[in-house]
Structure 1
Amino acid sequence: MNKIISAHPVGAGLKIFQNDPEIKIHDDVLYIPRIPGPHDSNYGIYDSYGRLVQTAGPRRGWPNFSLGQSQSSSISPSSSYPRATENSYFYGGHIGTHFGHFLTETLPRFWCAPHWYLNKKIICHSGDTIEKLFSVSWIKEIFEMIGLVKEQFIIFDRPTTVISLLIPGASFEENHFSHRQFAEFCNKLGRKYAIDLGISDPIFLSREKFKSAMRTIEGEEEITSILRNKGFRIVYPETLSIREQMGLFCSDRLTSGFVGSAFHNSIFCSSPRGLALCYGNSYSTNFWLMDQVNDANIQYFSTPTLLLKNSPRVGVPAEFTVDNPMDVANLVIDYYEEKSVLKKENEKINYGKKEGPYLIKTKFNSFLQIDRQLGKIHAGSGVGPRIHKIFAYVFDSQWIELFTLGGDVLSMDQLDSVSDTLNFKMQISQNEKTFSLKHPVTSRFVSTTPDGVVECNREYARAWEQFLLISANQN
């Protein structure tokens, strides 16, 4: 069997909040509708100055960005535009028919207490009509669970002025943050509406009957055949009702499968347990964010012998094939039987033999340092009142701790950690003269570029990922 490799979320700036999102009322805003199609930069909620109301639009990632929307209105707000008939509305965000994005983009708007929205009309944006949205059974059912019906929703078909619009902050933002309230809200829905499948055997969620526009997996039917013979129940999520899907993780049994939107159902169950097979060594940070606020115990692994056969692009799904289905099935079986010994490197340094302090020299004869304005690590040879060198201690010739003498809070591009010390695993090169810095959580290497950019996003350690230790006492 191939070596078992854990998969890691790759992203930076991920944030977990214990407090509730803000709820704000915006007066005299301009609603510009969305037109059908994947790209429309004109739509959104704009204030009386013509500026995009940031909390009203879909946003993603870090550095944070609006999803295709213009920061300034394409038309100047004017009292000449039609005025909405109600004095006050609730903003329900963007609504689409993709299951995963509905759970991560639309549902997070409705975390607040029902009294905020039950007595109001709900304005939303969509590339579809209200009729089409509510013809999708699971959209209709989820809204009914929170007390909402089709007649409460409004999509204006032209620019419209709204006197007062209540905009709840999102409790989850894709690839960026999650509030604990999002998990509490979804857990409450799960406790009230989820249907237990009545299955005590371990479950494998199969995609083999799902017509995905994102990816196909050749050989999955052989995996499910092996697992079925070993006592696993094979479940096809798209054949279940929404209430049955909400209950997929609401049990002590193991729920496994190829990672995808079905795994977002874990948010409806407190402390879910599962195993997710990934399409490489990384997976979407959306799953990580949900797991963190939901106290989940879901492990993510790179799928053994999984190969990409084509070059996916817009309109062309990724085509994967499993070269050895038995290896994949054995990973799932061994994990369930707790026979796999999976070594998990500790995020914290094992404080043994301590050496240093050192400076860290790059391939380009520059040194790691910061400008105190931001505290972000870069490579350079500059001097000045704001420039502070990065120092390092080495522990047991295995771990390295980065810091400044002034105790600055450090950050790095493509690294989620922000702290006055940053810890990495040292990987010594074959010539034993240089080393690379490997992050213990993401398994990504720190890299420098000729122009001084330092980021932690490389899958392999090559020339630009090599460093030298220089005694701080000699420099």
Structure 2
Amino acid sequence: MMTLVDCPIPALQGSVFPGQPEVQIRRNVIYVPRADGGRDTAFGLFSETGRQILDHALFSNYPQTVKSQGLTTSLTTSSHRLRLKERIIYGGVIGNHYGHFITECLGVLVYCLQNPDPERHILFHSDMTVGEIFATPWMAELFSYCGIKAEQILIPHLPVIVEELLLPGQAFSEDGFIYETYGKICRQIGERALPQEMRERKVQPVYLSRAALKTGSRQLVNEDALIKALEQRGVKIVVPEQLSVREQISLFACHPIIGLMGSAWHTAIFTDYVRGVALCFDDHVYRSFPLMDAVHDARVAYVQVKPSGQTYVPSPHGFHEACMFEKPEDVANALLVRLAQLMREEKHPPAPRVSRAMLPTPSLGERIGIFKLYSGLGEPVMLHTASEIVSCCGSTNRWHVPILALIVGDVAFLCAEDDCLPCLDIVHDEREPLLSYRILREGERVSLQHPKTGLWLKAPPAHMGLPLHSDGTERLDWEQFTLQPHNVTWARGRLQQVLTLLGHKCRSGTWDEQSAHQTGLAAAWHRMFHEVEETSRD
């Protein structure tokens, strides 16, 4: 019986940016110290009018929300307040947490690493002193690889006015977005850290133990049994907190990695080659991890133990949640099997989860059918134009427009009945104006299957107030839809352009590539048909 299942990976569309973020210069910035660590609600950088400069506040989750900071401060730019008159650069937030340092500090500090200046003063927020920071071995080590000395660091212990502050944009925001330059600079840090003899690739897997953690979000209470089973199968066991940063980077650069998802995995960003299996407590993958994977050569499988194979138990002191695996030896076996599969896939990429024999094939002469989309319960599927959320609606207003299904053979291209063709926000799918699905017909109903994941589009009933999501594993009531023929002779703008392009593609096999790309039709077509087209060329 299968012990592990792959977790759905969050869609990253619109969250991975090329290049680097913009840099601003702000004048008369009110710097409020961070006195209470991660719980501090008062700290931040504020304009002279007392408003938080949100581009440099700490955010998390997706959609992004501010972690703890307030939007305003009552402090003023008093003429009697201490003022820093030289031009200073901002370096981010330093906290005594390895993972948060990588995400909250290095995400801003990349500008200083791209533009090194040993004489430049760098302003940070921290509840630690400079002495405490450099007395913490892993912090001192990371700063040494960054080429930043203690005397460059400014951490005022009282509010000050910075007359001219250079503000590099965040190159990474927790769960939110990432710039390619973040991965590039972090790899450079890794290159400085690792001598050549610490880069030799090895086949022995390494397991990242959480045994040394005294606090955290989650704990596996019988991790010792899992470790014993892995050790018996030849896996090297390491405790990251007992290693130097250099040694941790070397592990990711040299070995296939196995471990519970957590901050230790952030070390992967310092290498240009990562292979591993991250074990999640449930099917939720924190978006930060695949965001980092997206900007370097990483192949990580995110998996969870099937719910029947784990039990939640009372949390030990210092942890929010805890669980135990019913059969740790089975989990150990399954982790190694999944790792071996991942390594094989690197040499022989797998076929898509949808059977190639069942994929639709594009053919000339297909007619386009235009339909309105309804759930299996008969509720209209609508787009709320202001939020871009797609859901079933019991009642509608002027902000709602119907979702259309443009049918070509056994393929449905979903879009909004709006001449501006807004993006569709469907959970666990890309955020694009057109999304393509394979159609499976059953009587008067249809099911819509994602061509890459093989999962089914789900439509929760209107009274639940939930959006559509593309993660159904079975075709039950929520995974079924009905189609009602619809006339869109009035169509204008981008919607009309898409209908014209699609019609031309079906008749002649060609279209205007630039227009198809600009409307999003080319991407929707490619995600459905590219596997078939590549096979025919072979």
Task: Give the TM-score normalised by structure 1.
Answer: 0.85
Displacement of 1:380 after TM fit? 3.9
1:403 alignment counterpart: 415
Compute the displacement of 1:134 (Å): 2.3
Rounded Cα–Cα distance in structure 2 between residues aligned with 1:262 and 1:117: 30
- 1:327 matched to 2:330? The reply is yes
* Residues 395, 275 of structure 1: alpha-carbon distance in 2 compared, 3 angstrom cutoff: farther
SS at match of 2:360: coil
Change over 3 Å in CA distance of 1:35–1:202 after alignment to 2: same
Mapped to 1, the partners of 2:470 and 2:77 lie a distance apart of 43
Q: Distance in 2 between matches of 1:116 and 1:2?
A: 52
- What's the CA shift for 1:395? 7.5
2:223 to 220, 224, 232: 220
**Equivalent residue number for residue 484 of structure 2:** 471
Matched to 2:359, the amino acid is: N
Shift of 1:159: 1.6
- Report the Cα distance in structure 1 between the residues aligned to 2:322 and 2:386, rounded to whole angstroms: 46
Between 55-64 and 137-146, the greater mean CA deviation after superposition:
55-64
* Residue of structure 2 equivalent to 1:389: 402
Provide the rounded CA distance (Å) in 2 between the counterparts of 1:428 and 1:4. 31
1:350 equivalent in alignment to 2:359: yes
Task: State how far apart, in whole Å, the 1-side matches of 2:87 and 2:95 are.
Answer: 24
Structure 2: segments with no counterpart, 5+ residues: 489-538
Letter in 2 for 1:43: F
Contact 1:425 1:438 in 2 (8 A): yes
* Contact 1:311 1:318 (C-alpha < 8 Å) held by counterparts: yes
- Please list the CA deviations of residues 256-313 of structure 1 after superposition, one character each: whole Å capped at 9, or x if unmatched: 2222212111111113111111112221111100001113111111135652423659
Q: Deviations over 1:367-407 (max 9, x none)?
A: 1233555654344477898754211256887x643124547
Q: 1:471 to 1:303 in 2, by over 3 A?
A: same
Structure 1 position 302 matched with structure 2 position 304: yes
| C-alpha contact (below 8 Å) 1:266/1:272 kept by paired residues | yes
User: Offset at 1:343?
Assistant: 7.5
1:242 aligned partner? 245
More off after superposition, 296-305 vs 263-272: 296-305
Q: How many residues align?
A: 471
Q: 1: CA distance between counterparts of 2:117 and 2:281?
A: 40
Note if 1:456 corresponds to 2:456.
no
SS in 2 for 1:164: strand
Alignment of 1:9-408 (within 5 A): 9-10=9-10, 15-84=15-84, 86-114=85-113, 115=115, 118-194=118-194, 196=198, 200-214=202-216, 215-251=218-254, 253-304=255-306, 306-310=309-313, 315-338=318-341, 344-345=352-353, 350-352=359-361, 356-362=369-375, 365-370=378-383, 372=385, 375-380=388-393, 388-393=401-406, 400-404=412-416, 406=419, 408=421
- Deviations 1:392-432 (CA, angstroms, capped at 9, x unpaired): 256887x6431245471322264551222124577899x99
SS in 1 for 2:70: coil
Gaps of 5+ in 1: none
Q: How far did 1:325 drift?
A: 1.5
Deviations 1:162-209 (A, max 9, x none): 111111111111101111111110111112213628672422323253
Tell me how far apart the structure 2 counterparts of residues 381 and 208 of structure 1 sit (CA, whole Å). Answer: 48
Deviates more, 1:37-46 or 1:264-273: 37-46
Between the aligned partners of 1:224 and 1:199, the Cα distance in structure 2 is 23
Give how far 1:243 is off.
Answer: 0.5
How many Å separate the matches in 1 of 2:320 and 2:203?
32
Q: How far has the Cα of 1:228 moved from its partner?
A: 2.6
The amino acid across from 1:408 in the alignment is L
CA distance in 1, matches of 2:30, 2:191: 39
Segment of structure 1 superposing worse, 178-187 or 359-368? 359-368
Is the 2:28–2:77 Cα contact (8 Å) retained in structure 1?
no
TM-score in terms of structure 2 length: 0.76
Higher helix share: 2
User: How far has the Cα of 1:138 moved from its partner?
Assistant: 0.6
| CA shift in 2, pair 1:92/1:474, >3 Å | closer
Confirm or deny: 8 A CA contact 1:171 1:179 kept in the other structure: yes
Tell me by how many angstroms 1:474 deviates: 9.5
User: CA separation of 1:313/1:328 partners in 2, compared to 1, >3 Å: closer, same or farther?
Assistant: closer
1:254 CA displacement: 1.8
Matched residue SS, 1:93? strand
Which residue is 1:422 aligned to?
A: 435
Q: 1:55–1:167: 8 Å Cα contact kept in structure 2?
A: no
Work out the CA distance in 1 between the residues paired with 2:18 and 2:231. Answer: 41
| 2:1 maps to 1:8 | no
Contact 1:25 1:165 in 2 (8 A): yes
Indicate the structure whose relative CO is greater, using CA pairs within 8 Å and at least 6 residues apart.
1
- Residue 328 of structure 1 deviates from its aligned partner by 1.2
| Alignment CA distance shift 1:446-1:122 (3 Å) | farther
Q: Secondary structure at the match of 1:390?
A: strand
